[in-house]
Structure 1
Amino acid sequence: MQGRIVKALAGFYYVESEGVLYQTRARGNFRKKGQTPYVGDWVDFSADENSEGYILAIHERQNALVRPPIVNIDQAVVIMSAKEPDFNANLLDRFLVLLEHKDIKPLIYISKTDLLEDTQNLSEIASHYQAIGYDFITEMADLLPYLSDCVTVFMGQTGVGKSTLLNKLAPELALATGEISDSLGRGRHTTRAVSLFHVYSGLIADTPGFSALDYEVTTSEDLNQAFPEIKHHSAKCKFRTCTHTHEPACEVKSAVETGQIWQMRYDNYLQLLSEIENRRETYKKTIKRQ
């Protein structure tokens, strides 16, 4: 039989096949091969009547996220709050870079817009991201059509209202919502397990809230590819390995100067590039000392 893992808990994998849920375990040979089944995996499995089933084979994956471990994702809703905490373009770009690198379509959702006294700045920010090609959503009703026939994950910094949004989308999930800590200025971790749920003719998954992002883009080339507008203009740079910092005849820097590339996005690109280079130097020094 074939099906998709929709929940993993305590060594059990719950596989959905033709509307029926089967409780399974993974064969020991997966550990020998260094393989682990994840939520979202399409698998071959056995399921004898009145007995526990076994996963026999894992199909090739389309993509994967490390935290939490979930695979074969169509799109990700990146939730950023307008206030409490304040909107953070740098953090948003970090999410977008990760998703571009993983070939997962991003949807930008802004929560808590009702806390804004003036929405002009948010409108300007939205226009910049929309010009790049990103969907920028501020109302739950506008989000619903995107969920149909897709596997969607929800991700965002702790305290932005992710669990609150999911509770509105699917009240039956009864997810716990964490309050903002006045002393820390951020939310408590409220999500524990990863599961896929049927909502609005699609599948959605919650992911644990976090304030730090596992960053998997480790080269300047990958970073260049993860900024769509920089990737587009870099094709006309004089040097194929142009980092868009000091090189002559750089089309990206020209595009920034003429406003074709948003200055804030370019600044965030430079910060991420600097972090990549610093990690590389630290690694080289560590190797030399060994």
Structure 2
Amino acid sequence: MEGIIMKGVGGLYYVRDLTDGTVTPCRARGKFRRQTAPLPGDLVSYERAVPEGIINELKSRRNDLIRPAIANITQAFLVFALAEPDINWDLLNHFLLVMEQKAIRPLILLNKKDLVPEETRQAIIQRFLGTGYELLFISALDPLVRELLTGRLKDEVTVLCGPSGAGKSTLLNQLLGEEKMETGVVSEKIGRGKHTTRHTELVEVGEGLLADTPGFSNIEPQGIPYRELKDLFPEFQPFEGECRFNGCLHDREPGCAVKAQIGTAVSPERYDYYQRMFLKLKEEDKYKWD
């Protein structure tokens, strides 16, 4: 039989059958548990039994994340507050890099829309010129947000990502139509939220699967060779092959087609972030073999 792991707690994995939808608590066979820890979202072959079934095989993954711990994600809702706390732009761009690296489609949800004027929203839109990323300005407290987002969950495995205090728990409650998660509060002292969930679970919503994920405040892109960083910026792709030099890294080379688009098809803020990440990764590569 084949199924998908919905959650794992204390070595017990809850597998939903792909055919009839029934959920069976299962243990994993030791032969692969010692090599690859099963995650929610993993596709498996398993046997039903009472009181616990057995997972015999983990299917190959398309991707996985460690925080939140989940596999085979197809899209991510990146939840950031427009204010209280203010947007950490490097963190948002870090998330976007990881989504590109993992082949996960991002949807940027900018919460607390009532706290900023229209001019601020338009300036934010300009930051993502040419990326193709969709931005939605929302209020997670508004019940209409459920109607806005539920249709986007169909046939997807979706995670919510973003810093604590941005409204992920409130948004998840709206999507589930119940108080599934205990919402956090923003610390007045440090301006950050306190995460309140304790494990990752997939929940059926809108004919798709939504991850009930722990809140976390940071993420660092890992394992990106500096020469490949440019491939993770979708706004650069239309100009590949148009630079004066083959293999242009869009840094200091003359005749760079990407640099010529800064301020028109490429936003200055995103290009500045690219340059800083490029130098960081290049320095890391230089000392990798020391």
Give the TM-score of the pair, scaled to structure 1: 0.91
Q: Distance in 1 between matches of 2:165 and 2:228?
A: 30
AA matched with 1:204: L
Q: Any idea what SS the aligned residue of 2:106 has? A: strand
Q: Distance in 2 between matches of 1:31 and 1:4?
A: 16
1:144 aligned partner:
150
Confirm or deny: 8 A CA contact 1:6 1:16 kept in the other structure.
yes
Q: Any idea what SS the aligned residue of 2:57 has? A: strand
Instruction: Determine which of 14, 24, 27 is the counterpart of 1:25.
Output: 27
Extract structure 1 runs of 4+ deviating beyond 6 A.
Answer: none
| Larger CA deviation: 138-147 vs 172-181 | 138-147
Confirm or deny: 8 A CA contact 1:155 1:206 kept in the other structure.
no
Question: Is the aligned partner of 1:195 residue 2:196?
Answer: no
Question: Is the aligned partner of 1:126 residue 2:122?
Answer: no
2:97 aligned partner:
97
AA matched with 1:69: A
Instruction: Determine which of 269, 272, 276 is the counterpart of 1:267.
Output: 272
Aligned-pair CA distance for 1:283? 2.8
> Unpaired segments of 5 or more residues in structure 2?
139-144
Q: Deviations over 1:128-176 (max 9, x none)?
A: 5364211111232432221122111000011101101101111435201
Confirm or deny: 8 A CA contact 2:126 2:267 kept in the other structure.
no
Give the TM-score of the pair, scaled to structure 2: 0.91
Cα distance 1:26–1:213, how it changes in 2: closer, same or farther (>3 A)?
Answer: same
Q: Deviations over 1:192-220 (max 9, x none)?
A: 10000011121100332222203224212
Instruction: Determine which of 184, 187, 211 is the counterpart of 2:217.
Output: 211
Q: Deviations over 1:88-135 (max 9, x none)?
A: 33221111111011100000101011222x221212322553642111
Q: Percent identity, aligned pairs only? A: 38
2:42 aligned partner:
41
Q: Any idea what SS the aligned residue of 2:260 has? A: helix
1:75 aligned partner:
75
1:243 aligned partner:
249
| Larger CA deviation: 264-273 vs 89-98 | 89-98
Aligned-pair CA distance for 1:235? 2.7
Q: Any idea what SS the aligned residue of 1:44 has? A: strand
Instruction: Determine which of 154, 159, 166 is the counterpart of 1:153.
Output: 159
Tell me the matched-pair count: 281
Q: Distance in 2 between matches of 1:239 and 1:207?
A: 45
Q: Any idea what SS the aligned residue of 2:16 has? A: strand
Larger helix share, 1 or 2: 1
2:142 aligned partner:
none
Q: Distance in 2 between matches of 1:190 and 1:203?
A: 21
Q: Distance in 2 between matches of 1:4 and 1:159?
A: 31
AA matched with 1:115: L
Confirm or deny: 8 A CA contact 2:129 2:235 kept in the other structure.
no
Q: Distance in 2 between matches of 1:129 and 1:88?
A: 15
Q: Any idea what SS the aligned residue of 2:128 has? A: helix
User: RMSD of aligned C-alpha atoms?
Assistant: 1.7
